[in-house]
Chain A
Amino acid sequence: MNLHEYQGREIFAAYDIPVLRAEVASTPDEVREIAARIGGTVVVKAQVHAGGRGKAGGVKLAENPDQAAEVAKAIFKLKIKGWPVKKVMVAEASEIASEAYFGITLDREARRNVVICSAAGGIDIEEVAAKTPDKIVRHLVNPSTGLTDAEALDIAKRVYSDEKTAQQAAVILSKLAKIAKEKDTSLIEINPLIVDETGKVIALDAKVVIDDNGLFRQPELEKLRDPDSETKWERMAREKGLSYVKLDGDVGCVVNGAGLAMATMDLIKYYGGNPANFLDIGGSSSPGKVLTAMQIILADKNVKSIVFNIFGGITRCDDVARGIVDAVKKGKIEHPIVVRLTGTNEEEGRKILADSDVKVTPAVTMDEVVQQGIRLALQNKIAAAS
């Protein structure tokens, strides 16, 4: 789960990492009031889950409260990488003497957290890593000791030649490591970490991503979830334990298992169709889950046919079949449906479908279910157009 900058900043502040004065606003009027409270030049920053905010015009300086309200008005109208701007953060502006990058994330290969720092901050760190890898300092964190103060200081000294600056940065790095451990972050990043004109080291930005698997023990972070960061349907899927990603095609897919779901999408593309979504109904599938899955898929008006590709393991084919019959009857679904049921209880599942008065096209192989799905989507489209 991604946190917004202002939420990350609050966590930083709670751990005594130096941050600038800032408040969050939802309207230009609120921005004006905050700018007046802070006084002097402020920076107005769009709060969206997307990088490249500056380039998109989502970060602007303002010299007085009226100007702040004016730039905010423009920022609220933006869509940054598809995300509408619902909130902005108004922060005190600062003189910047230097910009660095400090972050902690998972190194999958080493199976440990890795500290990544660079004196070249303020820009895309992946670009720095690709073009000038020698400017990057990397350090693997030993999980049994955590990041020690001595290690933090050693890392900071490799970024800053000035001793006093390095000491301040080391304290900040230790705190980042503490947050990473206590809050189940999969990424925690300050870009840029600045030195201001007085020599003080300050976190000017905050990017925090929480490991979804850790959320069950972070109830206070779950509360920070931005309701605008997901659609109603994505939320419904998450709450029912389905994995759903909307795509832009017209063949809806209901599959059990993430790998098979991806492979089904791949096969639809291979045969010249376009998948409308990724949807994994998960392991133990109750008929209710199938109903939810169909509701979510049919909320997308682009969908012209639905493909069920089920390989029963823990998932039982009879459960899925009951779910399909239920959903079609309750939802009065008229979309063409192609169903492939194989694995656990496949005979029972096929019989339930055959004995019902619900009209579905049966398919035996994965090739067949996908090809039929594409064909029926096309037919449906032509019928709708004529």
Chain B
Amino acid sequence: MGILVGKDTKVLVQGITGRDGSFHTEKMVEYGTNIVGGVTPKKAGQEVAGKPVFNTVKDAVAATGANASVIYVPPPFAAGAIIEAVEAGMPFVACITEGVPVSDMVNVWDALKGSETRLLGPNCPGVITPGECKMGIMPGHIHLPGNVGVVSRSGTLTYEVVDQLTRAGIGQSTCVGIGGDPIIGTKFVDVLDLFEKDPHTTTIVMIGEIGGTDEEVAAEFISKNVTKPVVSFIAGSSAPPGQKMGHAGAIVSGGSGKAEDKVEALTKAGVKVAVTPTEIGSMVAGLVPA
């Protein structure tokens, strides 16, 4: 059990015949994810990892009853793929694609309003409920079923933290990568709210980074709405101002977005903020009920 995805999630892969799409479809199937099919325009009738390919999301949903979609479509077509899923009434969509134009995401967000769809990403590793459903690109074997909810803007830094937890024998309820872009569908507060309400999550780990004010907004939310203990780390305290650090969203500009401000806001909200990325595991170990 966990949030967003579980053993009842029937996953559709958009862009299933592409290089990344086909590779990760096999990995997800290996992990035990219930992949029900995929979509690539004009490729209906083919199979990938033994799963049927459809021309449109609508066709795929009608044939398979898919209730979640993961997108590996290249950047020029990613926004279109998200909107197609929204129009087909898909309840949950995770967009892995990196490099989607920001103006496309403004239009996507407009299309999402008033719809039934929750979007995760883009430019994210996806989401995994260990032992049940892996929907994305994270290495499955480092995860362990358990009760710690992990939410992060980063991909590999999340793996590092999850690995520390698993090595310490601490399992995870669900790990959510929300993505590093300026515009993303699901933010820290959305996931924090889900973890707070999830009976299987006892402790929350939140990994932030420099840029934007989402961590400050999350701190405000935590102080008002979250009763479960939260451990956090903010990456990028050593980054020079004005420089983009890989993620399009990770930039300190005009005095906002600094690591120290985020740390201060979180500390004030009662969050235990790790000084180094390598002490997160042991900090969580001290909080998890035996």
Residues of A within 8 A of B (CB): 106, 108-109, 111-113, 126, 142-144, 181, 184, 186, 211-214, 216-217, 243, 245, 247, 255-263, 265-270, 275, 278, 280, 283-284, 311-315, 342-344, 365-367
Contact = CB atoms under 8 A, between A and B. Distances in A.
B8 to A, nearest CB: 26
B289 interface: no
Interface in B207-254: 207, 209-210, 212-214, 217, 233, 235-240, 243-250, 254
Given A144-B110, A258-B245, A313-B156, A214 B101 contact: yes
A108 B182 contact: yes
B137 A263 contact: no
Contact of B100 (A213, A314, A315): A213
B119 to A, nearest CB: 11
B102 A262 contact: no
Nearest to B159: A311
Interface of B: 20, 75-76, 98-103, 105-107, 109-110, 125, 137-139, 142, 152-160, 163, 180, 182-183, 207, 209-210, 212-214, 217, 233, 235-240, 243-250, 254-255, 275-278
Given A126-B254, A144-B110, A262 B245 contact: yes
Interface SS of chain A: helix, strand, loop or mixed? Answer: mixed
A268 to B, nearest CB: 7
Contacts of A143: 106-107, 109-110
B160 A213 contact: no
By Cβ-Cβ distance, the 6 closest A-B pairs, closest first, are A259-B154, A258-B246, A257-B156, A259-B157, A243-B246, A260-B156
Given A257-B154, A313-B155, A344-B139, A280 B102 contact: no
A106 B102 contact: yes
A221 to B, nearest CB: 13
A265 B238 CA distance: 6
Contact of B102 (A213, A216, A243): A213
Given A211-B103, A265-B238, A259 B209 contact: yes
A202 B79 CA distance: 37
Given A186-B102, A313-B155, A343-B139, A212 B278 contact: no
B65 to A, nearest CB: 29
A278 B236 CA distance: 10
Contacts of A257: 154-157, 246
B212 A262 contact: no
